[in-house]
Amino acid sequence: MIFQRNVWYVAAKSEDVDRQLRRRTILNEPVLLYRTERGEVAAMQDLCPHRFAPLSRGTLFGDIVQCKYHGLRFDALGRCVHNPHGDVITQRMHVRRYPTAERHGFIWIWMGDSAQAEPERIPDLSYMDAPGTRTVHSYIKANYRYDILVDNLLDLSHAEYLHVGSFSAGPAACSKTSVNEERNDVFVVRTMQDGPSLPHLAHLGERIDQTLNIHWRPGQVMNFEIKSTPVGDPSSNGHRARFSHIATPETEGTTHYFMSTTRDYAIDDPKVDAEAALRQVTVIQNEDGPMLDAINAEMHGMELMDMGPVLLPVDVGAIRVRRVMKRLIDEEISGSQNSVSATRSR
C-alpha cells in the first residue's frame, strides 16, 4: 500500500501530547511526539540513528531528548546536539523531523516533503472553534484499513441496516444522493423527503425531511452536517448536527480514528461532553466495528478495486474519493521521480 505523504494528517488530539515522550506510528513510521517547555509540539522519527533504539524510551531534559541506550541527545528539531562518545556530530546523526501544526484541537503532521508543508493547507475546521459552540474529540485505534473506514462513512445508506434503532429509523426509499467534486474535495449530499423520524427528533413530527452533507478532504478529513426539519417546512430551524471523522493510517491494516462532535447548547457542561463522546464512539465500536473488522479480514490486504466489487449507485461518493486518492498518489510518485531526475541532471 502506498500512502499519500504530502498532506496534513491528524497525528493526535492536542490534549494527548504533553511533556511525556510518546510514540505513535503514522504511515508505518514510528514518530516521537512531545511538547517543548514553551508548549510547542516536537515530532521526529522515533529511532536513534546509532543503534535504532526508540527515542521514546529516553529522557527529556528541558526540550532535549536523551537516548536511553547510549546517551545521544537531540533537540526538538531532531538535531543531534550532544554525543558523549567523542563529541563528533555528523550530518547522519540528525533525526528526521516532521513539520507539525496545532489547530482545531488537533496536532497535524506532515509526513512528506517538508518544503511543501504550508499550514494554510490544513483543512479549515474553524466551525469547531466558533464562539458559542463546544467540540468534543474522541479517539479509537481501529483494526481495519483507513479506506474501508472512509468507504463506510461516504455511503451512509448502510445506516438503515447496520444502525437501525440507533441513528436510523429504517428504510428510506425516499432518499437521493448527489456527489460533487471541487479541486481535490468530494461533496456528498443525501436528501430524504418525508422519511421516518427518530426519538431525539420526535418534536419535529413522526416523519421528517432531512439533508445530510458530507465533505471529504485528502488527509481523510470528513465533515458531516445533518439538518432535519418538519416535512415540507425547509425554512424551520429544525435540528442540526455537526460532526467529523478523521482517519490517519497507522499501518497498512490499522487506523488512528478521530471523531469529533460539535454542539451549540450546554457548551459548558462536561457531563454533556462525556455523553456526546460516548454516543459517537459507541455506535462506531459496537455497530460499524465488527462489520469493518470482518470486511478487513475478508479482503486479506488486497485492494478493493482489484477484487472486482459490484458497485451500486450509493458507492458513487466513495468511488470518487478513490479516484482522487489514486490521482494524488500517482502525482506524488511521478513528482518525486521528477525531482530525482532534476537532482541527477544538475
List of residues contacting its own copies (CB under 8 A): 30, 47, 49-54, 57, 66-71, 83-86, 90, 92-93, 151, 155, 157-158, 160-162, 171, 173, 290-291, 294-295, 298-299, 307-314
Report in angstroms how near the CB of residue 282 gets to its own copies at its nearest.
18
- Whichever of 142 and 276 has its CB closer to its own copies, that residue is 142
Residue owning grid cell 455511503: 155
- Residue found under cell 451512509: 156
Closest approach, Cβ 314 to its own copies, in A, equals: 5
Transcribe 272-314 into DSSP letters: HHHHHHHHHHHHIIIIIHHHHHHHHHHHTT--GGGG-PPP-GG
Minimum Å distance from CB 83 to its own copies? 7
Cβ closest to its own copies, residue 63 vs residue 151:
151
DSSP-based three-state secondary structure for 269? coil
User: 3-state class of 254 per DSSP?
Assistant: coil
Nearer to its own copies, 119 or 170 (CB): 170
Select 300 or 344, whichever has its Cβ closest to its own copies.
300
Question: At 212, which helix (H) or strand (E)?
Answer: strand 207-217
Cβ contacts of 251 within 8 Å, gap of 6 or more: 25, 28
CA–CA gap between residue 109 and residue 121 (Å, rounded) = 11
Query: Which is closer to its own copies, CB of 22 or CB of 57?
Result: 57
State the first-to-last Cα distance of the chain, in angstroms, to the nearest integer: 32
Shortest CB 93 distance to its own copies, Å: 5
CB nearer to its own copies: pick between 183 and 300: 300
What is the distance, to the nearest Å, from the Cα of residue 133 to the centroid of all Cα atoms in its chain? 21
User: In what helix (H) or strand (E) does residue 319 lie, and over which residues does it extend?
Assistant: helix 316-345
55 to 42, 67, 79, 90, 147: CA distances (angstroms): 12, 5, 13, 18, 30
71 bridge partner residues = none
User: Nearest approach, Cβ of 74 to its own copies (angstroms)?
Assistant: 12
What is the rounded distance in angstroms from the CA atom of residue 282 to the CA atom of residue 229? 26
d(CA 11, CA 26): 7
- Comparing CB distances to its own copies, the nearer of 232 and 290 is 290
The least distance separating its own copies from the CB of residue 19, rounded to whole angstroms, comes to 20
**Nearest one of 68, 1, 21 to 254, comparing CA atoms:** 1
Residue 212 CB, nearest approach to its own copies (Å): 15
**Of 113 and 315, which CB lies nearer to its own copies in the complex structure?**
315
CB nearer to its own copies: pick between 73 and 263:
73
Which grid coordinates belong to 334? 511521478
Distances (CA, A) of 28 to 58, 101, 173, 200, 335: 21, 20, 42, 41, 21
Sheet of strand 73-74, all strands in order from the earlier edge strand to the far edge: 59-61, 64-66, 73-74, 80-82
Q: Using the minimum distance from each CB to its own copies, give the nearer residue, 100 or 168.
A: 168
State in angstroms the smallest separation of the CB of 151 from its own copies. Answer: 7
At closest approach, how far in Å is the CB of 330 from its own copies? 24
Distance of closest approach, residue 64 Cβ to its own copies, in angstroms: 14
